[in-house]
Structure 1
Amino acid sequence: MLVIFALVGLPTGFAQPETLPTAPGTNIVGTNNAGSPVAEPVPDAYLPPAPPIDQNDSHDAMTLLDNKKQIKVGDQLEYMVVEDREPPEVLLVDEDGQIEIPLLGKMPADSHTAQDLAFTISEALKKEHYYQATVLISEHQAANRRGIVLVMGEVQREGVVEIPSGDILRVSDAIMRAGGFNLYADPTRVSMIRPNAQNPESSQRFDINVGQILETGRLDQDLILRANDRIFVGRRGDSSGQYTLSGAVRSPGVYPISIGQKITLSEAILISGGFTEFGDGSDVTLMRYGEDGSRTEREINVNEILEKGRQDNDVLLQPGDRIIVDEKWVTF
């Protein structure tokens, strides 16, 4: 005969299993053969928020950051807010000396130390987003470059040039790292194409007279490169003529127009380095001579072309054209 007993509880007098304390972040799921509780970790999503950091501890943590070495263009920084309980992010100091801070957007970082930048960001975060923000910033050691540029055309070695971390790379630098100009190069005809990160189908073009930069040392005309820029060095050829640029521009002089080259008035201004501090871009004179020796003059507002995109007002230059940029009237 088979007898079945159903246990509905422990009789009085039997010892009850002892309830043992468990560590935070665990959950009791049963007992083992010895009657001891079995626990499993609670998923992170269910962990209670970390206790608030004492205000003095927060301040002390940021004062321990580096306060001597200045941050510079090209640096990669590890950034974190302790209260977020998230791993650090790597932020790049771009060519304008700025970094993109979550919740805040672009902020200047160049020439700051990690310590003073951390305090600045902390105060900005506490204005709208945090009751307390312990910001930690340090140098990211793993990075050795921050991008590449492509150099093509009449150079010794066409191909990729790296932008080293912590360094500024200009157009002339990239050409030198590509072995310099070859025998057929025209240093006055260098173009830099910059893709639009927001719209891959569009880009900006800059025409640069690197020959003049190397002769004069005018770094303000030698553009700082960004990742994925492309440089094209043109081939030397016969000139179809030249134009003259005078007045309040940074590099007045006589400029060649190569065969097949098309250059507008606004491009000629940019190639020369742009207007001086007192240059009047709203009233630029273009003088043109006909085959019979007749002369015509036209006043053009180049500021509108450059600042408002009024390309319909731009003029294609011809050999023999003369451009005159007057100075603004200054009153005291």
Structure 2
Amino acid sequence: MEVLNDSTKLGIGDHVSFRIVEDRHEPIRLFVTDSGEMEVPLIGRVMARGKTCKQLAYEIKPLFEKEYFKTATVIIGLDLVSTKPLGNIFITGQVRSGGVMVLMPGDAVTVSQAILRAGGVGDFADKRKIRLVRKKEGVPVTTAEALQIMQPKKQSVISKIFSRKKAAPNDSTVTYLVDLVDILENGHLERDPELKVGDLIYVPERLINY
């Protein structure tokens, strides 16, 4: 199991070969569903998206050893990588090259990484109040909603990691405040949220006092 792939993260639509050495059966093919899960024989659904074959194998190993095997050597190999795009994320505001970014299977892109891909922030960006707007239940942000974000209301920070605006009962989006300085300059990478399909990043302009 130590030699299993530990560099490529699994994504939706990927196919893998799966076997347990002690079971002595031929490998079977499994795939990552749209929910990011994989249906493992005897065990059921396990989350696979964003994990390497090695990580997944070591997570599954104790589940088999709990009920079915004294020792389970789990072998998982990546057979086929899906090339179908998962969807888009949107970047706007004070970035050098905003627009649409395509998320591909296996991508694990954070807010700071997406901004860097967009050429970085502009000279007048407020790097401490970047807004990540996310639809509830993963529904993409509409164009109309994206335009509303350009002039967001004042929000208060309620979390050490990144703050969330409390949604109204009929509000379909949740907004997070992300501090890029804290992430890139202070090294708090755990405060850099991973993006999902339909997310919108807005980098506001900082206020300049004369």
In the superposition, the TM-score normalised over structure 2's length comes to 0.56
Q: Quickly say closer, same or farther: Cα 1:138–1:237, change in 2 above 3 A.
A: same
Letter in 2 for 1:157: S
1:143, distance to aligned residue in structure 2 (A)? 2.2
- Report deviation, 1:154: 1.3
Please tell me whether residue 185 in structure 1 is matched to residue 149 in structure 2. Answer: no
Corresponding residue to 2:39 among 85, 94, 101: 101
Rg larger for: 1
State how far apart, in whole Å, the 2-side matches of 1:71 and 1:99 are. 19
Partner of 1:70: 6
Deviation at 1:71, TM superposition (A): 6.6
- Aligned CA distance change for structure 1 residues 121 and 148 (closer, same or farther; 3 Å): farther
Does residue 156 (structure 1) correspond to residue 93 (structure 2)? The answer is: no
* Change in 2 beyond 3 A, CA 1:223/1:199: closer
Per-residue deviation, residues 188-217 of structure 1 (Å, max 9, x unmatched): 110111222277762322101112322212
> In 2 relative to 1, CA 69–190 (structure 1 residues): closer, same or farther, beyond 3 Å?
same
Alpha carbon RMSD of aligned pairs, Å?
4.3
Query: Which amino acid letter does the alignment assign opposite residue 32 of structure 2?
Result: L
Matched residue, 1:228: 198
Q: 1:168 aligned to 2:108?
A: yes
Change (3 A) 1:71 1:118: farther
CA contact (8 A) 1:190 1:210 kept: yes
The letter of the residue matching 2:187 is G
Match of residue 141, structure 1, among 81, 91, 104: 81
Structure 2 CA distance for aligned equivalents of residues 198 and 121 of structure 1: 31
**Counterparts in 2 of 1:213 and 1:194: CA distance versus 1, 3 Å:** same
Indicate the SS of the match to 2:133: strand
1:269-308 correspondence runs (5 A): none
The match for 1:91 is 32
**In percent, how many aligned pairs have the same letter?**
20
**1:259-288 Cα shifts (integer Å, max 9, x gaps):** xxxxxxxxxxxxxxxxxxxxxxxxxxxxxx
Residue 80 of structure 1 and its aligned partner are, at CA, apart by 7.8
2: CA distance, partners of 1:111 / 1:81: 13
Task: Determine the C-alpha separation between the residues in 2 that align with 1:175 and 1:198.
Answer: 21
Gaps of 5+ in 1: 1-62, 128-134, 240-332
* 3-state DSSP of counterpart to 1:232: strand
How many residues are treated as equivalent by the alignment? Answer: 160
Q: Extract unaligned runs of 5+ from structure 2.
A: 20-27, 69-74, 141-170
Task: Measure the CA separation in 2 of the matches of 1:115 and 1:198.
Answer: 24
Q: Structure 1 length normalisation: TM-score?
A: 0.38
Say which structure is richer in strand.
1
